[in-house]
Structure 1
Amino acid sequence: MEAHTSNKVATYKVTSGVLGVLALLGWGLYGYSLSSSGTEESRLREQTTRLQNDLNQLNTEHRRVTAEYEQLRQSAGDLQGVQGQLASVQEQVKSLEQARAQLTESVAQARSQLTSSTAPSADDARASQTGTANPSTGPVRIDAAQEALTRLGYGPLTADGKMGSRTRRAIEAFERAQGLAVTGSLERATVQALEANSGVSIQ
């Protein structure tokens, strides 16, 4: 009886000891888990903070690069516009140079024709010697007729007393304007009309 009781007591003590060890081990593991959880959370918080800082820096760099890209794109657009304007100006300059060359040639031709037209012909030479190709009843002063024609706006003519081509063309223009027969010479009717309109004495 006493032996049986002793065995029960021994068994109870062992069980209690095992339970106590297990309890202590459980509390230790729980405490370790809490400690591990806290350490992991801190590590994750630090990592999150570091990543957030990196993200902020990346966003800042992205905004800077985006701004530079927009500036470069705008500059490229402006450059294209400038290049287009430059090409247009170059075309205009080319056109102006061509027009200038044509105008220079036209001026040269006009001067050549003018020189040819102002050269006195044989008839003109004879007219200058006699005073007029078809004189009126009285002697006609060609220089006075030239002065009269210039005063009336059919010039300018040089009052040199020579019946040149320019003087003839001026007389013809005056005769047309007056409704006279176009002769290009100082006929009586032409002389009278010149004197009446200009107030210059031609005879």
Structure 2
Amino acid sequence: MFTGIIETLGYVEKIVQEQSNLHFTIKSAISDELKIDQSVSHNGVCLTVIGIEPGMHTVTAIEETLLKSNLSELKVGERVNLERCTIAGARLDGHIVQGHVDQTAICTHIENKDGSWLFTFKYDTAMRNITVEKGSIAVNGISLTVVNSEIDRFSVAIIPYTYEHTNLGKLREGDSVNLEFDIIGKYVSRLMSIREAR
């Protein structure tokens, strides 16, 4: 489990394709502290560490993960949001994030609010995922609060710290992001769909 509070940025050093899988080697400040088999969130995707070398670690994304996330779009040199799993008994500063990306969204608008930024994202409603105003959502693994909620889009307000210490600062209109919707909202949506089917 994660909290959506990004620890550090990593940088993609190498990408190797093996059959339908992609191996990503990431350079970061926390790589030397990781262990083989450890779970680490990469842009909101929970991936297992399979290799460690000085200052770098390697993880594998399988086809299912690549289909549900934007990891297949990563290029060497790009920034990746990193978070290690939550320590039991620690403060939960963000919200409950599983590291299981539901789908991607497209950034449709970025507005500079003179001290903060308003990002708007549009997503496909076919999966019946929903947001609610003042609810939580993970965007590229970052725990954020929904400002405006519509049927197929939502906005989030970004403070300078988040803008500077995550990969949102490099995001441009038209770029895709990973979304993990609130787990409680997903259960409610599923229950409603079962009720409607009866």
TM-score normalised to the size of structure 1? 0.20
Which of the pair is proportionally richer in helix? 1
Larger strand share, 1 or 2? 2
Larger radius of gyration: 1
Higher relative contact order (CA closer than 8 Å, sequence separation 6+):
2
